[in-house]
């Protein structure tokens, strides 16, 4: 996840809407090929959403819903399709009944062998009428699987009668050995869309009691690929520094182009006119090459500054030289309006042509799978990594706990408590073997507002011992177990 800051951007940003229209009757793909000769394989996959920033205006259960699965098998050497697509609708959510609806399990009969396995969720309509044959090149097959966005934007709730959409997701695992009774896990599903949230984070005195009146998204891509071009996929990216999950490094386009007319999000602004969240989605898009490049996505916002209404423009730029950045799938772009110093322009046309003016915004980019050991309460984000540290018995200084928070969150040592209790941070630490806790200063350019917690560990000559560090931000608490071993 990167932190992107748009300084002095006379533009409020609300954002980019993307919508997936998945319609049409699905021509069922026969699974009978493997009914007699195939091996039944149990899959356990992880969808994004719970314990991290959600990308839908729904509950945890609905937000991570999966109603259909398609599987493509590829030869790991030639990277060609190894069998026709295999599908199932028998998907079980939360199989352990532990409240984690990210976990999905399903069973499929598959041929025996070693394959690169690619899983598609909620993508049944994309397979409708598409011919994918054995021997076809991987990129050729993946490029056929797309979804479209209506010109009016996407309705987030899949249960609305007028727009019952689910966000397609995909995931893959290479060199998977399939045999009788196999259980496959460690596959992460990634969304094909990005989400943009807009929040007025500054006080009334800092923003002129700014209120959001209207939001428009320009240059939204008409169509998106469900799986990215694998040349743009970093398969070795890690969760928590250990579990490979991967994420996209550049946008993959279908060639369908972008909408020249804007998409309006006026009706989904919060009643207090201070935010628009979990409503604006878009497909991947390339960055602008210059301000005059009107093919890249940007936002216009009509807002009230001290009672005077005007228009502002917001672009996607990086924290240093206001250079433009790509919009990438499975990322959440949070646009915080920190300062508004003057009224916007009287008409939208002038705002579109203008550079930043009278508004300072901060754009934070989160990759949903770059947040291991994280918690999210719908407003703030807190990630602590690792959750368990084991020290040797010698005396030394440890600098191994990383803490990441919202860019506008106030965070200090007062949020950290050292305790003898795993569950109660107010039970004091009575030992003397951990001391000198210190928190690094925030780096303006650091990803996700990152801090490092350091402390000293005394030598251990008698017995193994354990303490707990509780990190709290508002309603969110993360706990780190600190253990020091003992050697005779």
Select 3-17+194-222+257-367's CATH number: 3.40.50, 2.60.40, 3.90.1200, 2.60.34: 2.60.40
Residue 453, CA distances (Å) to 400, 410, 421, 430, 485 in order: 7, 16, 19, 20, 21
439 with 445: CB under 8 angstroms? no
Rounded CA separation 58/378 (Å): 11
User: Does pLDDT of 12 surpass 50?
Assistant: no
Task: Evaluate whether 3-17+194-222+257-367 and 32-139+161-191 have a shared fold.
Answer: yes
Note the pLDDT tens digit of each residue in 176-222: 887 666 788 888 888 888 888 898 988 899 999 999 999 999 999 99
Lowest mean pLDDT among 124-133, 217-226, 393-402: 393-402
Structure tokens at 428: 């004091």
Count the alpha carbons within 13 Å of 55 in the hemisphere toward its beta carbon.
35
> What's the CATH fold of domain 32-139+161-191?
Immunoglobulin-like (2.60.40)
| Residue 137: both structure tokens together | 């090149």
Percent of the chain with pLDDT over 70: 76
Q: Which two tokens stand for residue 341?
A: 């110093």
Strand, coil or helix: what is 100? coil
Distance CA 465, CA 21 (A): 56
pLDDT in tens, 15-61: 223 333 333 333 333 343 444 445 788 999 888 754 444 444 455 56
Per-residue pLDDT reduced to its tens digit, 51-107: 444 444 455 566 678 889 999 999 999 999 999 999 999 999 888 887 777 789 999
Query: Residue 311 corresponds to which tokens in the numbers above?
Result: 């228009």
Nearest 5°: phi and psi at 191?
-80, 150
CA 81 to centroid of chain Cα atoms: 29
Instruction: Output the pLDDT for position 29.
Output: 36
Cα of first residue to Cα of last residue in the chain, in angstroms, is 44
pLDDT digits (tens, 9 = 90+) for 404-459: 887 667 789 999 999 999 999 999 999 999 999 999 876 544 445 778 899 999 98
> What local confidence, expressed as pLDDT, does residue 367 receive?
58
Architecture of domain 374-484: Sandwich (2.60)
Q: What is the pLDDT of residue 76?
A: 95
Instruction: Tell me which long-range contacts 265-272 makes (C-beta under 8 A, separation of at least 24).
Output: 265/14, 265/15, 265/17, 265/153, 265/214, 265/215, 265/216, 265/217, 266/213, 266/214, 266/215, 269/14, 269/212, 269/213, 269/214, 269/215, 272/211
pLDDT at 64: 75
Give the model's pLDDT for residue 428: 94
Q: Would you kindly state where each structural domain of the chain is located, as residue ranges?
A: 3-17+194-222+257-367, 32-139+161-191, 374-484
Q: Would you give the DSSP letter of residue 321?
A: T
Instruction: Flag whether the pTM goes above 0.85.
Output: no
In whole angstroms, what is the distance from residue 134 CA to residue 168 CA? 24
């Amino acid at each position: 996840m990167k932190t992107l800051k748009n300084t002095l951007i006379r533009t409020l940003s609300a954002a980019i809407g993307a919508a997936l229209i998945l319609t049409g009757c699905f021509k069922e793909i026969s699974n009978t090929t493997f009914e007699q000769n195939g091996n039944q394989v149990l899959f356990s996959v992880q969808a994004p959403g719970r314990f991290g920033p959600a990308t839908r205006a729904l509950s945890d259960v609905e937000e991570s819903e999966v109603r259909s699965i398609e599987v493509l098998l590829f030869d790991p050497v030639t990277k060609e399709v190894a069998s026709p697509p295999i599908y199932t609708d028998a998907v079980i959510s939360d199989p352990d009944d532990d409240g984690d609806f990210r976990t999905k399990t399903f069973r499929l009969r598959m041929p025996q062998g070693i394959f690169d396995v690619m899983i598609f969720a909620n993508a049944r309509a994309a397979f409708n009428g598409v011919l994918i044959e054995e021997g076809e090149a991987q990129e050729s097959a993946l490029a056929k699987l797309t979804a479209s966005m209506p010109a009016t934007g996407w309705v987030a709730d899949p249960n609305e009668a007028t727009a019952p959409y689910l966000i397609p997701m995909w995931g893959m695992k290479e060199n998977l050995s399939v045999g009788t009774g196999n259980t496959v896990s460690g596959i992460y599903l990634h969304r094909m869309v990005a989400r943009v949230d807009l929040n007025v984070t500054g006080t009334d005195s800092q923003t002129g009691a700014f209120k959001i009146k209207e939001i428009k998204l320009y240059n939204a891509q008409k169509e998106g690929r469900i799986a990215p071009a694998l040349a743009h996929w970093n398969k070795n990216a890690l969760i928590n520094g250990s579990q490979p999950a991967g994420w996209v490094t550049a946008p993959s386009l279908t060639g369908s182009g972008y909408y020249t007319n804007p998409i309006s999000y006026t009706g989904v602004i919060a009643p207090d006119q201070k935010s628009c969240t979990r409503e604006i989605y878009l497909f991947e898009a390339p960055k602008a090459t210059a301000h005059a490049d009107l093919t890249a996505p940007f936002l216009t916002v009509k807002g009230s500054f001290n009672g005077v209404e005007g228009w502002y423009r917001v672009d996607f730029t990086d924290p240093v030289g206001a250079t433009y950045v790509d919009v990438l799938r499975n990322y959440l772009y949070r646009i915080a309006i920190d300062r508004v110093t003057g009224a916007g322009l009287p008409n939208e046309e002038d705002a579109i042509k203008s550079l930043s003016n009278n508004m300072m915004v901060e754009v934070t980019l989160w990759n949903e799978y770059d947040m291991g050991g994280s918690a999210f309460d719908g407003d703030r984000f807190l990630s602590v990594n690792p959750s368990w540290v084991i020290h040797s018995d010698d005396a030394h200084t440890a600098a191994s706990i990383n803490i990441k928070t919202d860019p506008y969150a106030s965070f200090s040592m007062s949020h950290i408590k050292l305790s003898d209790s795993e569950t109660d941070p107010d039970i004091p630490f009575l030992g003397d073997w951990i001391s000198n806790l210190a928190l690094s200063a925030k780096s303006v350019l650091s990803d996700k507002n990152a801090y490092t917690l350091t402390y000293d560990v005394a030598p251990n000559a008698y017995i193994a011992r354990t303490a707990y560090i509780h990190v709290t931000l508002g309603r969110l608490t993360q706990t780190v177990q600190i253990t020091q071993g003992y050697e005779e």
